[in-house]
Chain A
Amino acid sequence: MMNLTRLAQSLSKGLVRAAAALALGFAAARAADFTPAIIYDMGGKFDRSFNQSAYEGAEKFKKDTGLAYREFEITNAAQREQAMVQLARRGAQIILSTGFTQASAVEKAAKQFPNLKFVIIDAVVDLPNVQSINFREQESSFLCGMAAAMISKTGKVGFVGGMDIPLIRKFALGYAEGAKYVNPKAEVFQNMTGTTPAAWNDPTKGAELAKSQFGRGADVVFHAAGATGLGVMQAAKDAGKLSIGCDSNQNYLHPGSVLTSAVKRVDVAVYEAFTAAKNGTWKPGQLMLGLKENGVDFSLDEHNRKLITPGMEAKLKQAKADIISGKLKVSEYRAQ
């Protein structure tokens, strides 16, 4: 009898231990199951600009952690909400949406799934489970405007935007202010490519707009136009003029012809949101990334080293420090 009870005791102890081990194992497996998800907007994953930058951030997360992520590319408005609901149902713990057009869908989905984490880039959704990440694009645009005005011989600089929306006007305003800060008499030509989303992907028209600005005397042109900008930069190279890249660092595209790029670190934002969610340090609320937070910047590398003279660089660095300290104010375009 004694033996039997002891056996039973040891057995039950063993069972408890086994159960505990199993439970631990499950917990570990669940941590490994962490699945972030990303929803690209209409521009598509490979736009060499905004969405692609987000993609690179997600890829870096995958490389560093070995964790796969789910993704979806939107093709029509109704899919935004549908994609979020489906990702939520399939166990994504954090859903990141790129682009302001997804704001209303994020709002609906975040209310429907209050226990999931949502991130929206370039818009604000004020809910307890949403993190809104925005950038002060006007600050990097300001520095690019300065660089353009400093190197321009004609005192005329150009801007080619994609679709005529508040976000792009924000770039244009910062750029013009920067140019005028260096040279109050500077003339800034502004053109928007179009009024449909096709304006983000029309390099031919981008090139034509750049050429017309060169024809009017501009010798530097800045684009904030997604894939349309590739045409702008090509036109600048063909005409022997200078261009300024946008969102990603595009200096490498035409070395010697790209003055600099207004970099927007969407990749860093995506990477950090995923990492924070994985480590349990993710917080909802608004995150505003500017020069100070290294969210935006102008790019300086071996491809444009020869174009930016030490004098220019010093002035740009000074302006950057002044913007960070608040001494220099850049106005922000506000929709009405």
Chain B
Amino acid sequence: MSATATKLPRWAELALLPAVNLLAALLLSGVVVKILGESPWAACRLLLGGAFGSQDGLGYTLYYATNFMFTGLAVAVAYHAGLFNIGGEGQAYVGGLGVGLVGLWLGHLPFLVVMPLAILAGAAFGAAWAFIPAWLQARRGSHIVITTIMFNFIAAALMTYLLVNVLIKPGQQSPETREFGPGAAMPAAHELLARIGITFAPSPLNFAFFLALAAAALVWVLVWRTRWGYALRVAGQNQAAAVYAGISPPRIIVQAMLLSGALAGCFGLNELLGSQHRILVDFPGGAGFVGIAVALMGRNHPAGIFLAAVLFGALAQGGSQLSFDMPKINRDTVVVIQGLVILFCGALENVFRGPLAALFRRKEAA
């Protein structure tokens, strides 16, 4: 693992460069805040303080991060197979249906029975939703970017139909189901911590956070430590070489998309079992799309995805705190700040690479 002098030292690659990018994004955000007539310094403190400064703030940050980890991992797995899965939103939505049906029908059973079933159902529903685009890509060559985007809309249509006409709790306006049974509630973090004698402010952070970490570990093992993962990466980088090596790209495409859809489908474990306790319209709320940014920023590596997910969780939580306490900063400004972070850390990540590398070369020469 020795750092080569051609590029950046490894620590700079992994820590310094993202930090510099983040700093640049925050500086530019500061300019935006200044133009709006608020103090950038106070805004920065509110953003960071809101995300990490209090127990419940931290809870919300990690809660959002859990959502983004599931969808980010989904994008990453497909990416290693050379597929750009834009359908995380729809897969999370339909996967949530699986999770929710278990919650509705089997919620009276003990949690230890419900949880594995909910995981299986969420993964199965999410995978099933990814299967059709995968099959179309593998056998018919229909481009997965197009088909998965289309499947997001089909998922929305299907779910709205089900929630408005079939699953709705009778006699109410809002298209949402009744509450799940008591066994279908993920233990909240503050309850778990209370059991070992630590008091923690209530927040939606729940056991699903650990499930997301487990999923990240699972993805790492599968992609980098198994024969299948090797085949996946070969097929993703060069289909001709994969065929030459006896790997069937269509088979890999379908398998990778099934795993990708299953990961996205687990989204409902955190959002529905952990927080909402019912299925409601549009519960993914764009997390499937944030997952794309998270995966790109995290270099499609589970560790990177974890960090990127926490960053986006912090932006979501700190951003809402910001718009809460600074009336001049509305939710659209928060979106601008988030967009700047994506722009600098994703699209413009190489802007500072050259100057930094030159700096390191000069230091070594000296």
A121 CB, min distance to chain B CBs, angstroms: 11
Task: Count chain A residues whose beta carbon lies closer than 8 angstroms to a beta carbon of B.
Answer: 32
With a cutoff of 8 Å between Cβ atoms, the chain A residues found around residue B281 in the complex are: 101, 163, 165, 197
Chain B, 256-281, CB within 8 A of any chain A CB? 271, 275-276, 278, 280-281
Q: Report whether A166 and B173 are in contact in the complex, using a CB–CB cutoff of 8 Å.
A: yes
Q: Does A272 contact B (CB under 8 A)?
A: no
The verdict on A123 contacting B175 (CB below 8 Å), with A73-B323, A75-B320, A104-B278 known, is: no
C-beta contact mask, B157-172 vs A, less than 8 Å → 1, else 0? 1011100100010111
**The residue from A75, A122, A335 contacting B331, defined by CB atoms under 8 A apart:** A75
Q: Does A83 contact B (CB under 8 A)?
A: yes
Q: Report whether B173 and A73 are in contact in the complex, using a CB–CB cutoff of 8 Å.
A: no
With a cutoff of 8 Å between Cβ atoms, the chain A residues found around residue B276 in the complex are: 77, 104
**The residue from A72, A75, A103, A196 contacting B160, defined by CB atoms under 8 A apart:** A196
Q: Does A28 contact B (CB under 8 A)?
A: no
Q: Report whether A82 and B320 are in contact in the complex, using a CB–CB cutoff of 8 Å.
A: yes
With a cutoff of 8 Å between Cβ atoms, the chain A residues found around residue B161 in the complex are: 195
Q: Does A154 contact B (CB under 8 A)?
A: no
Q: Does B129 contact A (CB under 8 A)?
A: no
Q: Does B213 contact A (CB under 8 A)?
A: no
With a cutoff of 8 Å between Cβ atoms, the chain B residues found around residue A197 in the complex are: 281-282
- Of all chain A residues, which has the CB nearest B160? A195
Q: Does A181 contact B (CB under 8 A)?
A: no
Q: Report whether B324 and A166 are in contact in the complex, using a CB–CB cutoff of 8 Å.
A: no
- Of all chain B residues, which has the CB nearest A334? B171
The verdict on A123 contacting B172 (CB below 8 Å), with A75-B320, A196-B156, A196-B282 known, is: yes
CA distance A83 to B170 in the complex (A): 28
**The residue from A75, A123, A194 contacting B174, defined by CB atoms under 8 A apart:** A123
Q: Report whether B173 and A165 are in contact in the complex, using a CB–CB cutoff of 8 Å.
A: yes
Q: Report whether B282 and A166 are in contact in the complex, using a CB–CB cutoff of 8 Å.
A: no
Q: Does B306 contact A (CB under 8 A)?
A: no
CA distance A83 to B60 in the complex (A): 12
With a cutoff of 8 Å between Cβ atoms, the chain B residues found around residue A309 in the complex are: none
**The residue from B156, B174, B320, B331 contacting A103, defined by CB atoms under 8 A apart:** B174
CA distance A335 to B174 in the complex (A): 9
**The residue from A45, A71, A124, A335 contacting B168, defined by CB atoms under 8 A apart:** A335
Determine which residue in B159, B175, B276, B280 has the highest number of CB atoms from chain A within 10 A of its CB, and name it.
Answer: B175
Q: Does B64 contact A (CB under 8 A)?
A: yes
Q: Report whether A77 and B324 are in contact in the complex, using a CB–CB cutoff of 8 Å.
A: no
C-beta contact mask, A92-125 vs B, less than 8 Å → 1, else 0? 0000000011011000000000000000001110
A22 CB, min distance to chain B CBs, angstroms: 30
Interface residues of B (CB under 8 A from A): 60, 63-64, 153, 156-157, 159-161, 164, 168, 170-176, 204, 271, 275-276, 278, 280-283, 285-286, 316, 320, 323-324, 327, 330-331, 334
Q: Can you list 19 A-B pairs, Cβ within 8 angstroms, ordered by A?
A: A72-B323, A73-B323, A73-B330, A75-B334, A76-B316, A100-B174, A103-B172, A122-B173, A123-B173, A124-B172, A165-B164, A166-B164, A166-B173, A167-B173, A194-B156, A195-B157, A195-B159, A335-B168, A336-B170
